[in-house]
Chains A and B, each alone.
Chain A
Amino acid sequence: MSAPITLTAFEDRLFADLPDTELSAMLRERGLPSKRTETWKWSDLRGALRDERAPSKDYASDLPDAPIAVTGATVLVLKNGVLEPPRGVEPKPIVVSGEKIGVTYVVDDGLVVSHYNQGREADETVNPGDELEVIAALRPLMSISILPGFSHAVVLRRLSDGDGRHSDNVFVTVGEGARATLVETHEIRGKPFINSRSEIELDAKSVCERYVVQPEAPDSVLVHTSVLRLDEEKDGQAVALKQATLAFGAALARHENRVTHLGRSEAQIDGLYRLRDRQHTDMTSHITFSGEEAQTDQMVKGIAGDRARGVFQGKFFVERGAQKTDARMGHHALLLSKGAQINAKPELEIYADDVECAHGNTAGALDTEALFYMRQRGMSETEARALLIDAFAGEVLERIKNEAMRDQLAALFNENAQRAEASKEQS
């Protein structure tokens, strides 16, 4: 084992605040992921978080307008990692062996939100690169359960401000045969460090649409790890997940998805990022195929201008017994300036012999032939560029079948594009 490293002031304080266990001892030896960590080589978390940070204070900013609205949805709000009690619902204590371990809210028929005083017990070991997820899992758990057979939409707004650090730990269960629309937003002001964790369990025959939206947060550092499990088929019905992440960058932002197909199930794990200035976004996914006949179709697209950096790391891991896996991964990026960077690493690791796995990855500039053509037809350069960028991003947005969601995500994308153009014209 290599010699322990010198901890940064940030790490020193962060690890000191953790329960004193083997995990914290290991973290002190290893430090946070950095460019030397294989899975973080293009997202230098350690470099982005050198200075000491205290835990975040209470959220003090106004409630911003929600970037996404879903008709009839239950809106849950986390302010600097702390759950706001759902309005108009009496909490009931959760008591185990005479001890109160949390509170629960029956928000609606078939929708239960609970808040536990504790999170998971610390693991003894942690794989390099997984440190943040493990740290977030120690936080008091918030759980959202959509009970079997029910259909609910939940918007989980994570509001953050200040310059401290906070984590959250959210567990979502979509019960057997239930249908869920889950929207998670990261609405960040100031320059906090946020370590978010979502664990989502999709029980047999459930259907879930999930959207993760992160508006621009130029001064903050965000790591959001999502762990998703898709159950095996039952009564001939497969679990279906359709997910799209829309991210506009931060000083450092990582949206990581770890998906496991336990058997025949279908997942669409899409992403779209648009970055300007010196912003960064990392979309990393690790998709494990454990059972037979699972399908993943992944399409991630990114647009980077100025001196921004986009990162895509995608891995399909097909276990020995996972025959008839059908997995497709595509990442395509558009570089709008010479200073912008894209780093991409598609990976396939396959131990079954009867599978179909494909990946495609491209990065390039706007098509100059098309640009000249459009201008020859009378469009200004700005108009022509905007139309080409829209068309590029459109491929991801058009895969969203929920029209109301697609329109709102497209509107967010266009607003950001207009801001990017406006700031370009000013500079």
Chain B
Amino acid sequence: MLNIENLTVTLGGNRILDGLNLSVPAGEVHAIMGPNGAGKSTLSYTVAGREDYAPTEGDVTLGGESLLEMGPDERAAKGVFLSFQSPPAIPGVATMNFIRTALNAQRAARGEDEMSAAEFLKVFRGHAKTVGLSPDKLKRPFNDGFSGGEKKRMEMLQMAMFEPRFCIMDETDSGLDIDALRMVGEVVNSLRGPDRGFLVITHYQRLLDYVKPDRIHVLAGGRVVHSGGPELARELEESGYEQFASEAA
């Protein structure tokens, strides 16, 4: 599914990703954990195609197709979804109009029919209920005046709407209470399936209580320094990253 080979990204003269290799097969959920500054967010931006995060070396493929020559919107149409760590507010842009325009832009790019306003509204309302966003909030401009937690709920709402092939969740758990974490788990688990992959970037074990990963990777010094099964999360929680950080050096 998602294959990352020898990915190297330099920002402001610093090598943030340094020959990173990672493979997430279809149907699996992989978690990335690692200390601050390890390159976790850089990895998510690079895969999603943010212009100033273009790699100097390596390749990223989804289903065998290289993403690197594609713009962020083309990658989105191919099924790459990034749940942002700090989603922006877009004042003046109505929430539903934004999501529907984006959804239909993706569908058009894939040669699919537009989703009608009525169908959109029905699906949208259903997901809004699941993620716990009130209709009042959804009448506001996109993320305008939303708390950090509400913005994360909006990310989950879109992930559910777009049904992407591959989801990257960049610290979706930060700033969330237990109920919200449970909601994230619900959304991810409802989307889990044989044709879909997830890369869950997190600092903490607690999200992984709700989203059971198949594999956990430790990112340090810009590369994956250790990989293991779900039990690795608890180990990291107890003893920290120090033991693996030395492997990166």
Contacts and interface: CB of A to CB of B under 8 A. Distances in A.
Interface stretch (A29-37, A103-111, A276-284, A390-398): A390-398
Given A372-B50, A372-B72, A378 B102 contact: yes
Nearest to B92: A391
Interface of A: 367, 369-370, 372-381, 383, 387-388, 390-392, 394-395
B92 A395 contact: yes
B73 A373 contact: no
B176 interface: no
Interface string B77-105: 10011101001101111000011011101
Interface residues of B, number: 31
8 contacts: A369-B88, A373-B87, A376-B81, A377-B102, A377-B158, A378-B105, A378-B162, A381-B71
B92 A375 contact: no
B93 A388 contact: yes
Secondary structure of the B contact surface, majority rule: helix
A391 B98 CA distance: 11
A392 B88 contact: no
B76 A378 contact: yes
B106 interface: yes
Contacts of A394: 92
Nearest to B91: A391
A390 B93 CA distance: 8
Nearest to A375: B72
B12 to A, nearest CB: 16
Contacts of B50: 372
B101 A376 contact: no
Contacts of A375: 49, 71-73, 76
Contacts of A388: 90, 93
B102 A374 contact: yes
Contacts of A381: 71, 73
Nearest to B90: A370
Given A388-B93, A391-B141, A376 B88 contact: no
A379 B77 CA distance: 9
A252 B80 CA distance: 47
A379 B76 CA distance: 9
Given A383-B105, A394-B92, 11 more contacts: A372-B51, A374-B90, A375-B72, A376-B82, A376-B84, A378-B103, A379-B73, A380-B73, A383-B101, A387-B93, A391-B90
